[in-house]
Structure 1
Amino acid sequence: MDENTPPATAHPLPFSIVYILIPALMVAGVLAFKTPTWMRLLFFAWYTKHLLQGMSIKFGNSFTDNSNGSTLGGELTKTFYLLFFVDPVHDWYHRTEGKKRIASRPWWQRIYWCFCASFSVRGVGWNYQIAGVPPPVRMNRYMFLGRAAVQVLASFLLLDASQCIIKTIPFFTDPQPDASMWSYSYHIQVFYGLLFLSVPYASLKLYYYLGAFLAVLTGYSSQEDWPDFFGNWIEAYSVRNFWGRVWHQMLRGRCTAIGRTAAKYLGAPPGSASSYSIQLLAAFLVSGIMHSFGDYSARLKYPGITLPFYMLQPFAIMLEELFFLGLVYIKVDKKIYSLPTPVKRCFGYLWTLMWLTYSSSWYIDPVVQAGSGRDEILPISVIRYVQAHFQ
């Protein structure tokens, strides 16, 4: 792409309608009418071309462009999974409908339920709900609305504060060519990593709980349909737990299914170490490729420049599995002793923090070089407004 090409004048709402909602409705129709494989292949070819066109549209903001590219990459991955790996019409049903399959409904209801299922990637309330989703919040409707409003406000303030702090740090706002987080002391790396991580963390929570508030307020869905977006941070005592329990699980279902298929076709016995390793590698590869579309949209140095960050994670998970199997359990006089759980947890927290701090540079450095630290993520800043009026 020509770096001198001016950004396209795009607006989020029309963009979302043209490249997310309408294509998703078309996918639902393809699924609902049980189209043959050759038609699905033709449709997916058009669908891919259409979404690649959307990825080339720029908003003039590196953070927004990256998010849009990753989102469309996620839609591409999700659609590939829905068309060729599962049969939603015959296999899926929602808890509110008993065990009534989608296939038993009139055509327009089949389209509606396929459309709903395509956006419920964690499967909340469906018979395919993935493991590890936080339990539903047990409270009445008004308490849930109050809690969701607090979460929206807290996420907004966290995002605002993170943006304000980032604007004061030259590493983010005026990065030198080939500058890296690794050139700073360890405690600075930790701070920069947590600061940068708070941006997608707060952004995702803001949109999720805003959607939850509106859906429950209008009566479209119940509060049980909106479990917490992230897991409990107390569970982050391993890299495996961080990605599998704590961080959002929006990609887990499709990535795991593709990983299982890869292990099967490579002949790995189910439940074996080789099958586990192949599934891990395939799942993170799919996630990395999906995020590489964000690299393309944000005009990073080259598409896939952040892929090493994702491909390092399965090796860290396998390493920690070997560590806990070989070192945490101590054999003395033919007896096996395990370190106390609090000690193991402390080692786990330190290891997870050290690993994520080290590996995050593979993601943060190229994104910062693309100018994300100079972006205005929020249209308004409460913190800067208060500072300007009370100094």
Structure 2
Amino acid sequence: MGPAVDVISVDLLLWSFYFLCFKDVQNRFVYVVKRGSTNGDDEQFSDAAKHKTDAQAAPSRIIEEQYPAKLSERLNWIGTLLVSIRMKHWKVGDASHDRRQPPELAFRSRSAFMNLAIRSFVRGYLILDFTRAYISYDSYFTDANVSISSPLPSRTLDFVPPQVFRSAILAAQAWAAISQLMYLPCLLPLGLNALGWLPDEWSPHHWAPLFGPISVIAQRGVRGFWGEYWHQAMRIMSAGPGYAVVDVLGIAPGSFLRYAIVTSVAFFLSGVVHMGLVPPEPLHAKESVNMIRLKVGTFFWLQPTAILAEVAVGKLMLAVCPPSVRQTSLPMVGRKVVNVAFFLAWATFCLPLLGDMARQIGYWHVWPVPLSLWRGIRAEGWSTWIER
């Protein structure tokens, strides 16, 4: 039996360290809004006008709200900060983050966000259902003794390497459960905002996109996936200690060493947080709980290897590629092909670490959706959680 740690507790602990130890919130944090914009983001803390910068007079109508002097406005300012886990619309003292604030908003209206949430939910629900249908035929997902490279259950899939196919199933499950279903709970604050019970800056239709465009993988490979496509909910918190380290060491901004340290620290802490996915007593474990947690952490601790390799290879290719070739479209096309191929190969290599964790905690012993279209159309019963 291992210690009873969980994702939320460790995440909140790291956020506490970020705000209390690594950042000067009162003097360095600035809330950035577009005044008079159609999305409803207007001046939120009126008496903080004396703290506004010259950005208020800029043609873009951007104003910056520093830590308010009055308690009533300060509570609103702090409340907005605490719900801004991606720190969008906030300047926090990190140049790479601050120069992109405020971000472009993703939705024109509440109905636009609601439509996306419903479409994403349906898409994610069906993917979870159908991939789980395949899993019921493949013993790898429910038996920790079966190797990921063992033959697939169907001979029709013999042309696909088993690890590649099973990694694709793992990726589809993770993508559907996280990137597609996470929109649905956001309908609650959306509805409260429509009723006037939540301020606009707390409503999800005023947020930046929860996920970036999938095309960034072709443009930047593994870096694009983690840096722009994925949800970024832990980016600021996990990278904060890394920035503190490089600042203390006096490492120049823009250097490869600075980037390497910040990236490594961020993924190390992300791995520590995600180790909390493993309960103290996994129901179907074939290994110790700490070994399972170590595999989860290793998945994240490996990511800087790929990211830094991409950066190094990119710099090398830029140095050796003749200027005449750089001006053609060939390098861009070739880079996109290589980025996608490397990302897929890297995912196939790393995802089994998470897959092994999931099967040892018994994740696939339960159907992930309560009503199954797959089982229903096969006359096997629509309900998956209530057995007759």
Scaled by the length of structure 1, the TM-score of the pair is: 0.72
Contact residue 144 and residue 356 of structure 2 kept, 8 A: no
Kindly indicate whether structure 1 or structure 2 has the higher relative contact order, using CA contacts under 8 Å at least 6 residues apart: 1
Task: Give distance in 2, aligned partners of 1:89 and 1:211.
Answer: 31
Q: Which amino acid counterpart does residue 148 of structure 2 have in structure 1? A: M
User: Structure 2 unaligned runs (5+)?
Assistant: 34-41, 45-62, 152-157, 283-287, 383-388
Q: 1:273 aligns with which of 256, 266, 280?
A: 256
Indicate if the aligned counterparts of 1:301 and 1:366 stay in contact, CA closer than 8 A: no
Any residues of structure 2 matched to 1:1-391 within 5 Å, and which?
1=1, 55=5, 69-90=6-27, 91-93=29-31, 95=33, 96=42, 97=44, 98-106=63-71, 110-128=74-92, 131=100, 135-176=104-145, 179-182=146-149, 187-218=161-192, 219=194, 220=198, 221=200, 222=203, 224-237=205-218, 238-297=221-280, 299=282, 301-302=289-290, 303-327=293-317, 330-331=320-321, 337-338=325-326, 339-388=330-379
Find the structure with the greater CA-based Rg: 2
The 1:249–1:206 alpha-carbon spacing in structure 2 relative to 1, beyond 3 Å, is same
Kindly provide the CA deviation profile for residues 187-215 of structure 1, in whole angstroms up to 9, marking residues without a partner as x.
33222222212333222235531133232
C-alpha displacement of 1:102? 4.1
Structure 1 position 144, deviation (Å): 3.1
Q: In the alignment, is the contact (CA less than 8 A) between 1:305 and 1:366 conserved in 2? A: yes
- Cα distance in 1 for partners of 2:67, 2:317 equals 50
Q: Distance in 2 between matches of 1:311 and 1:113?
A: 35
1:228-261: per-residue Cα shift (whole Å, max 9, x none)? 3221111113111111011111111122222111
**Which one-letter code corresponds to 1:318 in the other structure?**
L
Percentage of pairs with the same residue = 24
- Partner of 2:295, secondary structure, is coil
Q: Is contact 2:278-2:361 (8 Å) kept?
A: no
Could you give the per-residue CA deviations for residues 128-156 of structure 1, whole angstroms, max 9, x where no partner exists? 57759984224333333223222222222
Any idea what SS the aligned residue of 1:378 has? coil
Please give the alpha-carbon distance, in whole angstroms, between the structure 2 residues aligned to 1:201 and 1:377: 13
Cα distance in 1 for residues equivalent to 2:379 and 2:208 = 38
Task: State the secondary structure of the residue aligned to 1:305.
Answer: helix
Name the amino acid aligned to 2:125: F
What is the Cα deviation at residue 345 of structure 1? Answer: 0.4
* More divergent stretch after superposition (242-251 vs 205-214): 205-214
Matching residue of 1:43: none
Q: Aligned pairs, how many?
A: 323
Question: 2:185, 2:101 → 1: CA distance?
Answer: 21
**Greater helix percent: which structure?**
1
> CA separation of 1:374/1:389 partners in 2, compared to 1, >3 Å: closer, same or farther?
closer
Structure 1 gaps, min length 5: 3-51, 56-68
Are the counterparts in 2 of residues 331 and 337 from structure 1 also a CA contact under 8 Å?
Answer: yes
Query: Matched residue of 1:114: which SS?
Result: helix
Q: Distance in 1 between matches of 2:344 and 2:103?
A: 22
Counterparts of 2:70 and 2:129, CA distance in 1: 46
State how far apart, in whole Å, the 2-side matches of 1:296 and 1:327 are: 45
Supply the distance in 2 between the matched residues of 1:71 and 1:192 (Cα, whole angstroms).
29
Q: CA RMSD in A?
A: 3.1
